[in-house]
Amino acid sequence: MALVDRSIERRLEPLFGWIVGKRWLMVLVYVAVVAGAARLAMDIPRDNSLENMVVSSDPDVAASHEFDRLFPDKPTVFLMLETEDPFAAGPLNDLERLESELDAIDGVHAFSMVTVWRRSRPGAGSPADDPETFRTLAGGSDFFRRQGLVGDNFLAIVLALDAPEPEIRDALLGRINEIVSSAPDWSRSIDRIRRVGRPWIDAWLERETTASSQKYFPLFGAFVISLVLGLYRSWRALAAILLSLGVAVLLGMAFAGLVGLGFTIVSALVPLTLMVTATASLVYLHSRFVDQPAGVDLESHRVRALANKFVAVTASVFAAAVGFAALTISNIRPIRELGIWTSGGLLLGWIVCFTLYPALQALFRAPTRRHRQVAGIWVERAADVIPRWSYRWRWPLVLTASSLAIAGLIALLGIPGVLPGMALETDALAYIDPDEPVAEDTQYFQEHVLGIEVAKIWITTPDYSVLEPATLRGLDRLTRELEGDPAVGSVVGLSSILRLRRYLAGLGDGLPDDPATFDRMAADLEQLMLSEPSISQWVDLDSLSSTYLTVTSAAGSETGIARVAAAIDGAWSRAASAQPALAECSYRLAGTGVLQASIASHLVPTLVESFAITFSIIFATFVFVFRSGPARLNAMVPSLFAILVTFLVMRLTGIPLNIATILIATTVLGVTENDQIHFFYHFLEKRNGGNTEAALVHAIRVAGHAILFATVINAGGFLALSLSNLPPMRQFGIVTSMAFTLAMLADFTALPAALWILFKERPGAEDEPPGAPSGGE
């Protein structure tokens, strides 16, 4: 039979006696530490950029970084000017004025059909003076429509931003917004201006990430104050808990500054997780403290209560820390850093709980139950009812929980050939509230103008041959093959630029078939490289052996980057067969679309591997703490049940796996195991010479009160994320809160039922009568 080693508690009592005796020293040490921690916490950087979402060691990321080094690109945004007739004089005047005002912003470079008009017809005046010629120019080649510069009911302006830092980007976007917002005051022909582009998406995500924290921190603070006062009915207890909680969270935040971590799209989870886990630990400790038995003086009881809860609290914090540390196996950088940050913060919070909190508890003279009645009389009644009730319904309870868990496993993984696994979501647009203007505009653009999946075809040629006529013909054939694929909306590269130049010179929008003419064009291109940045940007001038094509998915396309990649592969095979020079080249994909695909490929391994590691180490923790044979598996029943049923609910309600919801399994397992550890610790504490019924009564009386309120804290804290404007965070908060509640229900139903089945006993069957006094000290 498993035993709880009470000798550990006796060996710890002198240590806690010293800590309580040195209470003023503890407080002074923390005062000094807090000053430095506050400074570290204030200097944490922010980074939501897609190129930094995957760790730098990932091959796709390494290739993208090398590609960016060879072909540096500026962030760009689109402005869509919707109008009934884009070729009328009024809209053309407004386009010209708006482009001029935007181009005057330092750090912004504007390009539109007006720019094309000016460069192709120097001195021709405004396009509004000759709209029919402008219409002919815009409609004579499909290049302009393919690039989204003009459509049946819109004209567009492309803005390139000199924005190496997020702060500069935000300032430039602010100036652009000011000018665009003023357009209705002077324009009578533009119906609406849509803003499209990743810089606006990134700026919104960063802004909302910060706003989310500002929303839930005050709410959670008010929630904790109300809960602690309602539970312990003491301002002195509240002060000790709140100050300890504040220091624990601050040290956790400072840890990120110390080790060089930064805020990302999921970082809002870190302070929240630190708050709820530290609060839960403090509630466990204080609930044990207020339960002062008769005949034991306060100071002796204070030390004994700390020693009694040390193993359970330490094991639960260790389990949670390990659960989050398991996320470091992920190749998704925000998830990996969240794991490091949270696990480090949890360990610092654990130190605070056993050093600063006892000192403050003693200094503030927090009362026990003997001095002030606390909430929770219901626990006594529950302890008398639940053991026998769970025995009576043990098989229905266990079978129902098992059936729901199996259904959840199927919902997550699917059935080969019958039911696919849960959907994966990596599109940045899905992280934005669909009612936000930036989301509406981007969605409209994607459906009517161009898709948002972008791939860069990075082409490597034999040395110094990228400008050879044969290579250029091969690139042109590849471009035309891609343009003929229905999954592709636009293709831009050397061939496209050459065709555009010929078109503007009145030579048509195709490259010459005559070899001599083509050779002269290739020779001229080498000279243009020295004077035309718009051309030289497409070639690695140092080696003359690298170039690239930018491929964008077609409007309305729902196929994603995988379909675009397949189109590229097919087009390359056909073009290489027709052009031997291209067959001597090689290519690989780079760009945002490839990075999104890389993120998607890492989501499921992150879920499976981190969960497996977390489960294994928590299981080992149970073995070490309880030495309990098969019973240690039963202690994990509530968490596993809650996680799998949560996946079932997600599948039924259409919530996908994304960069936030992928964390549910690890988070729930790491956090809810706290309750099972405390429950099982006190269960085994009473089974030392007792029976199952007496052990269940004791576990519910001692731990039930804290389990309920720890669950309320956990669920309430994460539910605050439902106020976030970030859909993944909102989804994560709702389903995680539900999982915490399900785990608590299983603590008091499926877990006792499973223990009855495991130990094969009946109520009152052993030598100790049911409902016997539970002891405690």
Q: In what order do the strands lie in the sheet with 586-590?
A: 488-492, 546-553, 454-460, 586-590
75-114, pLDDT tens digit by residue? 899 999 999 999 999 999 999 999 999 999 999 999 999 9
Q: pLDDT tier at 776 (50, 70, 90 boundaries)? A: very low
pLDDT attached to residue 726:
77
222 compared with 503, residue with greater pLDDT: 503
Residues 6+ apart with CB under 8 A from 658: 424, 425, 426, 430, 431, 603, 728, 731
If you average pLDDT over residues 599-611, what whole number do you get?
64
If you average pLDDT over residues 310-320, what whole number do you get?
84
The yes-or-no verdict on residue 479 having pLDDT over 50 is yes
Q: pLDDT tier at 491 (50, 70, 90 boundaries)? A: very high
Does this model's pTM top 0.85? My answer is no
CA gap 562, 559 in Å, rounded: 7
Please give the helix or strand (H or E) that residue 194 lies within, else none: strand 192-196
The yes-or-no verdict on residue 36 having pLDDT over 70 is yes
Instruction: Please tell me which of 110-124, 250-264, 565-579, 668-682 the model is most confident about, judged by mean pLDDT.
Output: 565-579
**Which of 355, 277, 290, 313 has the alpha carbon at shortest distance from 8?**
313
The yes-or-no verdict on residue 771 having pLDDT over 60 is no
Q: pLDDT tier at 66 (50, 70, 90 boundaries)? A: confident
pLDDT attached to residue 473:
93
Q: pLDDT tier at 770 (50, 70, 90 boundaries)? A: very low
In sequence order, what DSSP letters do the residues of 681-707 get, joined into one string?
HHHHHHHSSS-HHHHHHHHHHHHHHHH
Q: Note whether 761 and 385 are within 8 A (CB).
A: no
pLDDT attached to residue 47:
66
How far, in Å, are 138, 264, 745 from residue 231 at the CA level? 72, 35, 20
pLDDT attached to residue 593:
66
CA gap 304, 298 in Å, rounded: 10
Token pair belonging to 195: 């803003």
350 compared with 321, residue with greater pLDDT: 350
127-161, pLDDT tens digit by residue? 999 999 999 999 888 889 999 999 999 999 999 99
Partners of residue 463 on adjacent β-strands:
none
CA gap 140, 723 in Å, rounded: 51
Mean confidence (pLDDT) of the chain: 84
If you average pLDDT over residues 287-291, what whole number do you get?
85
The yes-or-no verdict on residue 3 having pLDDT over 50 is no
The yes-or-no verdict on residue 117 having pLDDT over 70 is yes
pLDDT attached to residue 279:
87
421-465, pLDDT tens digit by residue? 887 776 667 778 788 888 899 889 988 898 878 889 999 999 889
Residues 6+ apart with CB under 8 A from 766: 690, 691, 692, 693, 694
Token pair belonging to 650: 């997600």
The yes-or-no verdict on residue 768 having pLDDT over 50 is no
The yes-or-no verdict on residue 602 having pLDDT over 90 is no
698 compared with 79, residue with greater pLDDT: 79
Token pair belonging to 648: 């079932």
* Percent of the chain surpassing pLDDT 70: 88
If you average pLDDT over residues 332-342, what whole number do you get?
84
215-258, pLDDT tens digit by residue? 667 777 787 788 778 778 889 999 999 999 999 999 999 999 89
